[in-house]
Structure 1
Amino acid sequence: MARRSTLTPNGAANSHTGSPSFVGRESELNAVLSTLTKTPSVAMISGEAGVGKTRLVTELLAHPEMVDRRAIVGYCQPIGEPFPYGVVLEAIRKVGDALADCRLSPVVGTLRPYLPEIADLLPAAPGPLGDPRAERHRLFRAVREFLDALGPTVLVTEDLHWSDDGSRRLLRFLMSEPPPNLSMVVTYRGEEIPGGLPLGGAYRPAPGAASTLIELSPLEPDEVHELTTALLGGRPVSTRFTRLLHERTAGLPFVVEELLHTLRPTDETWPLDDLAACDQLDGARVPALLRESMAERISTLSIGATRTVQAAAVVAVPVDGDLLADLAAIPQDRAPRALASALAANVLIETGEGLYEFRHSLAQRAAYQAIPAPERRQLHRRAVMVLGELEPRPLVQLAEHSRKAGALTEWAGYAEAAVDRAIEAGDVVTATDLLCQLLDEPMLPASSVDQLAVKLTQVGANGIDVQTIARTLERLLADRRLSRRLHGEVRLALGVQLLRQAGELETARAHLEMAIKDLEHQPELAGRGMAMLAMVVAGATPVAEHLQWQAKVDEMIKTGTNERTIMTLLASSVATYMLAGDPKAWAMLDGAPKAADTPEVRRELARMQCNIADACAWNGYHVKARRFLEIGSRLAQSSGEIYVLSLSHSTRAHLDWRAGEWDGLAPRCLALADEYREIRSITNEVALVLGLLAVASGSWESAEVRFAETGISQPGDAFAHVAIAARGGLTRMRLCQEDGEGAAQEADRGLDLLRRKGIWTFAAEMAPHLVDAYRAVGRISDARLFVDDFAHGIAGRDAPSAHAALSWCKGILAAHDDDREAASGHLLEASAAYERMPAPYHAALAAERALTCHPSAAAEPAAIDRLFALAQWFQSIGATIDAARCQFALREKGVSYPSRRGRRGYGTELSPREREVARMIAAGQTNREIAKALFLSPRTVERHTASVLKKMGVSSRTELQDDSSRAHLEELVDRPGA
């Protein structure tokens, strides 16, 4: 909820406009509208400063249901000259031009002395009554008659907490005896209302009048995300960023807008990336209006309350009252009153269990920055003294206070102790943050740098903040304080971190190779680097080069004696062989330890189990994959292996895609991509899943975007199996679009990477679509050559997915040769192989192909029933394109789908077909493109389009593509079976 562009209560113009979208207040708006459409009526809207009361009123007055009402808005002033009834009189003064045609009661003349600007439009002033109470009552009646003469009117009073007592009395009178056509809206901050009564006394609505009380709460994190996106003109922002923004602002819309306004530079490229955006947010200055507001509140406090607030600002975490009094150095007998004053002024709040803090971190920073620097330092010194007496000692806080007090030695000691405690507790994030802070400190002595660097290399391997870790490691290599003997270890850790980042594969390999040379006297560490270089999925490096490194790793496993080192090497090696389809992987697994006696070995065992699960998912051992994933995830969870645990999420998403378990899969993948956007293996894999889902549903534009995120534009820096599968997805999409040449080009690119890599098991997801693409453009000899090479490449390889795909390819070629029996046999063989994995979506695609490649058999009742069942199953999981293709085949055979099961009426709801059409329109596809994708005639699509526009309440295709319509459509169509 952003502020409107108008004059603020203190008369200063806002510096910028608010959000272009209305976020998170739809239910409150509807509640107020429901009340105000009746007259007379009263709506009272409460909420803390910045929560969006004014924006709600702005939306209310602009709503179509309010256009026939005259709106009068009055603003109470925080500091104003004495002017009884001022807010109401100032408001009605603005509508003097509406009085020309009004018949005014003589009592309205009472207003002449109060409204001299429009006195000539008012009746003559009546004589004095001699009784102040009678005079006041006559004035109240005059205002009531004035408003009644205006006809249907909405009287809005903003910021009632600043109102004078006379205005409260007048408003209470109007609410108790309202004119029949008057609606009233008042906004106020409940925490600043004297006595907790907004109107200064008890109020009861008039008989027959409608009333409502709305209490606005701060926005939820997802609403902050929506608001932020709108404020940034639709540019995407991560959930991580908006989660941090929500934490900094407590979800207050005004504070969100003000903070974003301070962050946003003049160029329109911000935010460049997630890390940079979060860094900017951490370092953002407190918005000027918030600083001024906080300073104004603190200025009204007593000395004791001010010292309490300053202590809370310095400690910056929720603390109990006694500790806060110690920090503020206030005598215990005076501390409760001082704290109560800070709470009453809404500078501090109670968070529960007797803990006190600021409403949000920006308020804390505003109060902190208002403390003179020498006093801040002194308060930090006192915080070290007071907190150092606690047990257990809050080491992280002590480190921070020591640093801000200028005590560098104490800071380093406390910070390193906090690192050790965090490592012991398995808190990788805290340990990593502190280590990076310490190692980035130029005044840290050389004696400490080596020790901390070793800890970072160990902790960083399990961290997910890979960019921060990599930056610190890279700086360390150029730091003269780092001992030469540790360069290899630090460079190895840097290479591992860079492997996890997009665009850094070649740099990572170079660092790993240099690290191995530096570590020749530390063979256990060198072996880890070799295992990383042996990863067969990395880039376009030929498999032979990977296997050279793997041979060295195998020798170390064979001759090694250190259990942890062997387990570390096995964790990578078994998956490496399994991804290549080498049967020796299972033998290595049989010889690997099944349990772990130490935490270090347990972590490596977790990594091995999850790596094997990922390899099994790609090769077609899906049941085994889930078993390994379950064991690995459980081990990773218990041992605090957060990096391995994060990788397990993308493996699970890939398995769910293969299993046809698509319900909620797309939003889950989007959340993973957002949460782990720094980890390339996760983002690439979930982007592939999202792309394949988009193709199955006919969302071409989305598929293009998602496949691009798999790294296919730079195959040398991509994960080869993911990039080849993405080329297969693009090839299939081009075929669905009837773009044979485009499909063949995508197939060529995928095949080029496949041949360079030399691991033919990676072709499993691409192969059938490649053969279809070559056949579509008459390149049948190329298709045959590929199938021969594919068959030769996977011969003897243990990869069920690849062998099933080969049968599928053979079926396509046999169908081309008009050998329908052979074609049907190969395709049914492929379908059965996929079923055994199980991979039901691929099994269904192959089964459908078997049915449609044999026209005479396909016309038999059993085949028609099978095709009908496939159409229904495709539709149930959200495979729109495949369902449409089956339905088209049924129509060609004279079967009216879905008439066998009866046709229901949908009334004003969208039918399943209309949902499909609506989603494609929202994605920007033309009627012709929709007709091709759904195997419909353009005229039929036109009819569906007209029905969709009518039912959605929009007048054009363009309106259907705006954000609100898209959001509504997502609710309707992004559900399997919808």
Structure 2
Amino acid sequence: MSTAESAGVPARRPDLAVPRMVGRDRDLSLLDRALDERPGLVVVAGEAGIGKTRLLQELLRRRGETALVAVCPPFREPYTLGPIVDAVRGLAGRVAGLPLTGLAGALRPVFPEWADQLPPAPDPLPDAAAARHRLLHALVELIDALGVGLLVVEDAHWSDETTLELLLFLRARWERGPRLVLSYRPEDVRPGSLLRRLVAQAGVTRLEPRPLDTAGTADLVSSMLGGEPVSVEFAEFLRAHTDGLPLAVEESVRLLYDRADLVCEDGAWLRRDVAELDVPPSIRDAVLERTSRLGPAAGAMLAALAVLEGQRAPALVAEAAGVSLHEAESGLVEALVGGLLHEDRGGRVGFRHVLAARSVYHALGAMERSRLHRRAGEALEREPVRAVAELARHFREAGDPDRWSAYAEQAADHAISSGDPRTAFGLLLDLLVGGAVRGAAVSRLVRRMPLYAAPGDGPLRELVTVLRETAAGGELTREERTEATWQLARLMFHVGDMEAASVEMEQAVPELVRDRPVAAVHAMMMLARPLGTARPAAHHRAWLEQAGRLVEAWPGPSPEERLSFLMDRAATLLVLGDPAGWAAACDLPAEGETPGEVLQRARGFANLGEAAMLWGRYGDARRWLNATAALAERHQHLRLRDLVGASLAHLDWLTGGWTGPMEWGALALDAEEPVLRADALLLAGLLAAARGDHPQAQERVRAAIAVGRPRGPADGSRDPSAVLARLAIAAGRPGEALAATDAAWRLVEAKGLWLWAAEITPLRVRALLEDGRAEEAARTAEAFTAGTRGLDAPVAAAARRLTAALLARVGADLTGGEVTAGDLIAAAGLFEEAGAAWAALPRPYDALLAREEAAGCRLAAGERDRAVDMLREVFGELIALGATGDADRVRRALADEGVRVGARVGRPGYGDRFSPRELEVVRLLVEGRTSAQIARVLGLSPRTVEKHVHSAMRKREAPSRTALAVAAVESGDVPPPGNVPRPPMTTG
């Protein structure tokens, strides 16, 4: 019992106040100095509850300048430019009289209430990207006209991509525009978000508020208790149980207060019983216990605010809560005094932290949530400016499909016109998966959806399920069922279900020819692509020819439709191994800049680039893939951009630029898109094999097969079965190599497309020879040679030379005769020819392996000096390339000949340089990844990641992780992440 209680004096309860900001003086000084000395971009990064918002509020109070404060709410589908538009509305009641040019007329759709104050709307632009850029320029002009000196964006991890594009634009013109400050949570940034590029630019000042120590915890608690001291034991207890997170400290103190578990003894505040009282396991429990002690009016307002989200006017909250304004004001005062809410300068109220809002929201029953969403939606419908994305959300949760559908379609139209197709895709996907539309409306919506903006295969597979159920329904007319079947088959092709898609497509073609010839041509072109089925090449050529005849019979195809057909025809011919595809590619029209034509051009270039990789014409492949990447980036075709990024990374691997694939692969391992993850795993397996880590290589390749859309021989060097066969041969298991490639070989034989066998033929020949099946190996080589003779396919020519060398090494007499020195010399010459053919593509890694084989033949034939010289060269080039495992094998061969070329490749000492693993860890750290995320990407434990981080900090004498990241970028040890091709990061 306390001294006060034993004396008969009741322990005084504290009169709680909103805590003052503590432990942030240094952070504030850094922010002030950064804004004054380096006007550009200041970033405040940290976890939820660390105090980012409070820090920015104090910064604004100190500086006292005109600031535009944009808060990004945690909406599942962010409203395009919503945070900036809302902030401008809050800063300016009118725009009449501002010095605006005619460009500002582009702002009418986003500020309809100012339509009579803005210049006339400009003529529409045909290009969505151009329209988006014009809108951004107009918005910047308005911000300049308002005299905004400082733009603050809070919770930028929740912002839409168009808002981030605006920030990138403002950042590029920092000398003329407002200074930028943004806060975000690194762990919540979507893969592929532009935010990563924004915060990684040179000249960005990055601040990471740290958790409170014991003294800081004591100061924060004391500020809530009238400035009176807090016992060290109490402060240490709170710090240890909350990890020094200011929000958790505050909520715990408020809960202790509500429970009457705080007493003042001997002039210091402490808990009643240190041994027995448990701090709540989560902030949620603390918040809910506190809200349960509030009156009915306060509880109703908190529930309505949790449903509405963000900062709201009291009258709107009262209307959503269903209480009078008088009751609402009373309840708000109680919640404000209790520290759960705060009020901004405009009189709007909101939760002090999103975690508190989510705690209240998820505690509501389903019926209560639905009722509140309906009231919120109806209240927002009466607002002068309708936020259609918010209305869609509320009526979705209210179970009102008609109004949900109407507002979601409006919001999707707005998103597309604003250059934000990903948000549009998400809004329409919600409608379809949520069952808001039925029957023929399903096909109509799917046809409108920007499928290229889908964040991965998962959403597309959900659409497949919806369409399958629709097509099987009994309420459709014949035309409607045909349309549903066609859309279903189209989506099944998108997600890689080729066999089933072909069946559905062939059933739909006759009806499409009669009713919708344009769709019929698309269907025929999909059937012409020889992927995913065992049907012979002639089957696909027949569909290609039929599509051509139908195009010629069209009364007048649009330029977009004609370009789509021509692009697909050229790529299909190349995948079919038909040289006519090159002439068709050269004859493609160069004009056409409508949004539809741009998309067809980008998509077509991507297909041509992939086909050129199959032929081994890597210069053509890079030209087309780069063209796709530029178009996709400029016009925000995000999924296409990410997919072509994977192709370029693999092309870099083939042509010897391994740094880029390593960086891209590490990022893409975290992507939502299964195809991207599969490609990243395959690249990781290839790199591990080259480094000599064959167990990890096999694990990564098998994971790639399990994760992604199945790849096969038509994918050329990206066929995982070829990689598994290479690993099996290296391990001395030829039977396993043959088993790995059996399915691919049977497919090639069935289709008669021998170009597809360029990667696996040398592997099968080698495996058959090592398995003692020399005659079968010869027949395999002969079939491939006959099937590719006359093709100007560099990869096939190199593969033919390599198989010839493998056969020559076992001797011309395949019945078991002795191999002579002459045979070995001849084989060496063929291996050297193969090496030269690989080098010409260029594929330097394969060229070096062929030269190593040639040296081995010459060594066995007695040409030691020439062989040693060749092995020395190969060793050095393998080291330079990064193939340390292969280099170690060559080093051992040289050592057997008494030649020393250096210490064993593997674990060198690095001194003050980063090791390769440290480089990988630091690069991901610069990206803003946590230790847990880095561990998942690299396949390490978090403890091992921390060891690498601390080692890197020691080498750079960096006092913190942030300092390490800055030092690593400034010294050039790792590039800023914005310079690396991004995976999707999509997401949202």
TM-score normalized with structure 2 length? 0.60
* Cα separation, 2, equivalents of 1:664 and 1:359: 43
Question: Shift of residue 337 of structure 1?
Answer: 8.9
Deviation at residue 604 of structure 1 after TM alignment: 0.9
User: Is the CA contact 1:711–1:723 (under 8 Å) kept in the aligned structure 2?
Assistant: no
Name the counterpart of 1:298: 291
Give 3-state SS (helix, strand or coil) of 1:854's partner. helix
1:434 to 414, 418, 427: 427
Q: Is the partner of 1:616 in helix, strand or coil?
A: helix
User: Quick one: which amino acid aligns to residue 786 of structure 1?
Assistant: T
- Say which of 885, 896, 902 aligns to 2:900: 896
Structure 1: how far apart are the matches of 2:235 and 2:382?
58
Residue 393 of structure 1 aligns to a residue in which SS? Answer: coil
| TM-aligned CA distance change 1:859 to 1:898, over 3 Å | farther
Deviation at 1:482, TM superposition (A): 3.7
Kindly tell me: are residues 173 and 832 of structure 1, through their superposed partners in 2, closer, same or farther at Cα, counting changes over 3 Å? Answer: closer
The one of 469, 491, 497 aligned to 1:497: 491
Contact 1:685-1:722 within 8 A present in 2 as well: no
The Cα of 1:737 is off from its aligned counterpart by 1.0
CA distance in 1, matches of 2:253, 2:525: 70
1:410 CA displacement? 2.9
- Cα distance change of structure 1 residues 340 and 724 upon mapping to structure 2, 3 Å threshold: same
Change (3 A) 1:624 1:373: closer
1:468 corresponds to: 462
Q: What are the within-5 Å matches in structure 2 for residues 666-677 of structure 1?
A: 666=662, 668-669=664-665, 671-672=667-668, 674-677=670-673
Instruction: Return the match for 2:569 from 547, 567, 573.
Output: 573
Contact 2:302/2:360, CA 8 A, preserved across alignment: yes
Give the whole-Å Cα distance in 2 for the aligned partners of 1:473 and 1:614: 30
- 1:759-778 equivalence runs, <5 A: 759-778=753-772
Greater C-alpha radius of gyration: 1
Cross-structure match for 1:457: 447
Are the counterparts in 2 of residues 313 and 368 from structure 1 also a CA contact under 8 Å? yes
**Quick one: distance in 1 between partners of 2:914 and 2:366?**
64
Q: How does 1:179-198 map to 2 (within 5 A)?
A: 189-192=248-251
Q: CA deviation at 1:455?
A: 2.8
Q: Which amino acid aligns with 2:478?
A: R
Give secondary structure in 1 for the equivalent of 2:449: helix
CA-to-aligned-CA distance 1:841-864 (integer Å, 9 cap, x gap) = 122222222232212899676764
* Cα separation, 1, equivalents of 2:372 and 2:313: 17
Correspondence for 1:751 among 745, 748, 764: 745
Cα distance between partner residues in 1 of 2:345 and 2:783: 69
Cα drift, residue 887 of structure 1: 0.7
Q: Is the 8 A contact 2:755 2:796 kept in 1?
A: yes
Within the candidate set 289, 305, 317, 1:312 is matched to: 305
Question: What amino acid sits opposite 1:516 in the alignment?
Answer: V
In the alignment, the residues of structure 2 paired with residue 780 and residue 855 of structure 1 have an alpha-carbon distance, to the nearest angstrom, of 23
Alpha-carbon distance change, 907 to 480 in structure 1, aligned in 2, over 3 angstroms: same
How far does the alpha carbon of each residue in 1:642-696 deviate from its partner, in whole angstroms, 9 at most, with x for none? 34223212212221221222236356336435524445xx455444433333332
Would the alpha carbon gap of residues 585 and 659 (structure 1) be closer, same or farther in structure 2, given more than 3 Å must change?
same
The answer for the alignment partner of 1:171 in structure 2 is: 231
Distance 1:866 1:968 in 2: 42
Give the whole-Å Cα distance in 1 for the aligned partners of 2:474 and 2:878: 62
Partner of 2:685: 691
Query: 1:829 maps to which residue?
Result: 833
How far apart are 1:314 and its partner, in Å?
1.6
Q: Tell me the residue number matched to 1:606.
A: 602
Per the alignment, residue 553 of structure 1 pairs with 547
Q: Partner of 1:872 in structure 2?
A: 876
Residue of structure 2 in register with 1:812 after alignment: 806
After TM superposition, list the pairs within 5 Å mapping 1:441-840 onto structure 2: 449-459=439-449, 461-462=451-452, 463=454, 464=456, 465-501=459-495, 504-521=497-514, 522-560=516-554, 561-562=556-557, 563-663=559-659, 665-666=661-662, 668-669=664-665, 671-672=667-668, 674-679=670-675, 682=676, 684-709=678-703, 711=705, 720-721=714-715, 725-817=719-811, 818-840=822-844
In 1: Cα distance, 2:572 partner to 2:580 partner: 11
2:941 aligns with 963
1:926-965 alignment, distance < 5 Å: 963=941
Q: Indicate the RMSD between aligned Cα atoms, in angstroms.
A: 5.2
Which AA in structure 1 matches 2:487?
A
Report 1 or 2 for greater relative contact order, CA contacts < 8 Å, sequence distance ≥ 6: 2
Q: Deviations over 1:884-935 (max 9, x none)?
A: 221122112211121799x9867999999x99xxxxxxxxxxxxxxxxxxxx
The residue identity in structure 2 corresponding to 1:547 is: R
Q: Is 1:367 matched up with 2:360?
A: yes
- Flag the 1:404–1:690 CA change in 2: closer, same or farther, 3 A: closer
- Aligned in 2, Cα 1:821/1:200: closer, same or farther, shift over 3 Å? farther
Alignment of 1:186-265 (within 5 A): 189-192=248-251
Paired position in structure 2 for 1:81: none
* Cα distance change of structure 1 residues 870 and 566 upon mapping to structure 2, 3 Å threshold: same
Checking the alignment, whether the CA contact within 8 Å between 2:602 and 2:628 is kept in structure 1 is yes
Q: How big is each residue's C-alpha offset from its partner over 1:723-780, in whole Å with a ceiling of 9 and x where there is no partner?
A: 9943322222122112233334435454333322321111222222222212222222
Q: Distance in 2 between matches of 1:172 and 1:397?
A: 47
Partner in structure 2 of residue 415 of structure 1: 408
**What amino acid sits opposite 2:616 in the alignment?**
G
Question: 1:10-21, aligned counterparts within 5 Å?
Answer: none
Residue 819 of structure 1 aligns to a residue whose secondary structure is helix
Is the Cα contact below 8 Å between 1:692 and 1:703 reproduced in 2? yes
- Looking at structure 2, the residues matched to 693 and 719 of structure 1 have their Cα atoms a distance apart, in angstroms, of 20
Q: 1:456 to 1:354 in 2, by over 3 A?
A: farther
What CA distance in whole angstroms lies between the structure 1 residues aligned with 2:856 and 2:345? 67
Question: What is residue 16 of structure 2 aligned with on the other side?
Answer: none
Amino acid at match of 1:833: A
Q: Specify the alignment match of 1:853 in structure 2.
A: 857
Q: Aligned pair in 2 of structure 1 residues 341, 796: CA closer, same or farther (>3 Å)?
A: farther
8 Å Cα contact 2:371-2:398 kept in structure 1: yes
* Cα distance change on mapping 1:673 and 1:904 into 2, 3 Å: closer
Change (3 A) 1:839 1:299: same
> Following the alignment from structure 1 to structure 2, what is the Cα–Cα distance between the partners of residues 907 and 630?
39
Q: Is the 8 A contact 1:191 1:344 kept in 2?
A: no
What amino acid maps onto 2:830 in structure 1? Answer: H
Q: What is the rounded CA distance, in whole Å, between the counterparts of 2:48 and 2:596 in structure 1? A: 50
Q: For 1:658 and 1:568, locate their aligned partners in 2 and report how far apart those are by CA, in whole Å.
A: 29
- Provide the TM-score with structure 1 as the length reference: 0.60
Using the alignment, how far apart are the partners of 2:748 and 2:548 within structure 1? 25
Of the candidates 387, 395, 403, which is equivalent to residue 394 of structure 1? 387
Number of matched pairs: 691
Task: Output the CA distance in 1 between the equivalents of 2:657 and 2:666.
Answer: 16
Q: Which amino acid aligns with 1:393?
A: R
Closer, same or farther in 2 for the Cα pair 1:718/1:826, shift >3 Å? Answer: closer
**Cα shift at 1:398:** 1.1
- The answer to whether the 8 A contact 1:715-1:723 is kept is no
C-alpha distance 254-880 of structure 1, shift in aligned 2 (>3 A): farther
Question: Is the 8 Å Cα contact of residues 858 and 866 (structure 2) preserved in structure 1?
Answer: no
Q: Is the 8 A contact 1:457 1:490 kept in 2?
A: no
Compared CA separation, residues 865 and 47, structure 1 to 2 (3 A): closer
**Quick one: which amino acid aligns to residue 471 of structure 2?**
L
- Deviation sequence 1:349-371 (CA, Å, 0-9, x none): 79999987557877545423555
Retained in 2: the 8 A contact 1:539–1:717? no
Between 1:470-479 and 1:330-339, the stretch displaced more is 330-339
